[in-house]
Structure 1
């Protein structure tokens, strides 16, 4: 009997991502005065994990611009796939979907599969967008996932993004977005760190306040 080949996670469509980057990066620089400090991402390559605070509804764009021209794999809530206009683009981006507020074994297996494919994974560990511009508790199990993956971990923070793209308004506002980056863990260090130490460092890195 012929063995079925396991389906790959894959990487985002290069044409879509790079074309969007060529358009969106200059637009954000001019419209929102965005500045990106990429120093913390120096030498990033897959497999790697990027943990980001969920500050605005445009965080996926902001983090993608910080990582450009890398093609990261995003972990997103599965409810986004129910939006007919958004679904085709998410499929082209080869996102990993996750159920909210529960342990999703399928999502974890896909994250591990993406690691084996040497992908750069992007995860928003708060799990949801803040209504008031301040960080929310990190989802339980994040430190355990970092330990399990055992890869270099980075952070990307879009400071000022909440004030520019507030959750309570359908319109954006002119503002200043300053994107900072940091290497949070070297993969070698993760082996010796306790879950409590990993958890504490993640909590500190995700902390943000745009109020």
Structure 2
């Protein structure tokens, strides 16, 4: 049966419109597939739950954020990789809240899932990126790239563990290679006071002050021009921190009980 070109024209059917409709139909499954993939990487419910928990912790420990104009501009523009020092078990509360209103995830040690059942539920529900400690985890690396490409910022602590003495520990050179390979904008996060508020070895918390400072460290264009060695030097310089020196310089007092409990 031959098509009537006059009737087709009246109905708005032309070769151009038919082609556009065909493209739209073809794009729909791809869009649905992409949405399902994004749903596996981000849970709005757990995001809001995490932000609420972090908000309570920030109030309890008098935490403040200092965000540079460059960081705020990039937050508005799109995803970034954030490299942070790691001074306390509660660091997730300090470095995630500056992203309120934007999608963000973080890399967490696989052992956290097995330390307490509640952690396993929260980590799985939030779709945080899980990593095996102390050696290269190819699945983790792929997930970091996948999240960034989906528009979700990722926070990584290159030290790999919480500092026991409040000083930034040596970081593996592989971090610079990862930054080079990813090719995304990189921000730095320096947390001060959290290691004195709740030291790694302590059984109780102290009341004092926590400051989370975020700034842009390297743009994607900078990374393309820099060698891995130059990138590593920038990371080492940006994340260098000593909790006790910071306390002495700022005169912050931390109040609590049983200060030495847990050192034995």
TM-score, normalisation: structure 1:
0.89
User: Cα deviations across residues 86-126 of structure 1 (Å, max 9, x unaligned)?
Assistant: 11110111111111111111111212221221210110000
2:197 counterpart of 1:164: yes
**Count of residues in Structure 1 that have an aligned counterpart in Structure 2:** 206
Instruction: Provide the C-alpha distance between the structure 1 equivalents of 2:231 and 2:48, rounded to a whole number of angstroms.
Output: 34
Match of 1:64 in 2: 96
Contact 1:18 1:69 (8 Å CA) reproduced: no
Kindly report the root-mean-square deviation, in angstroms, between the aligned alpha carbons of the 2 structures.
2.0
- Report which of the two has the higher share of helix: 2
Identify if the C-alpha distance between structure 1 residues 23 and 115 changes in structure 2 by more than 3 Å, giving closer, same or farther.
Answer: closer
1:52 corresponds, among 64, 84, 91, to 84
2:126 counterpart of 1:93: yes
Greater RCO, CA 8 A, separation 6+: 1
Instruction: Provide the C-alpha distance between the structure 2 equivalents of 1:59 and 1:75, rounded to a whole number of angstroms.
Output: 12
Is there any run of 5+ residues in structure 1 with no aligned partner, and where? none
Regions of 4+ moved over 4 Å? none
TM-score, normalisation: structure 2:
0.72
Instruction: Provide the C-alpha distance between the structure 1 equivalents of 2:120 and 2:56, rounded to a whole number of angstroms.
Output: 26
Q: Which moved more, 1:97-106 or 1:197-206?
A: 97-106
Contact 1:13 1:92 (8 Å CA) reproduced: yes
Is there any run of 5+ residues in structure 2 with no aligned partner, and where? 1-32, 245-264
- Higher gyration radius (CA): 2
Match of 1:35 in 2: 64
Contact 1:97 1:107 (8 Å CA) reproduced: yes
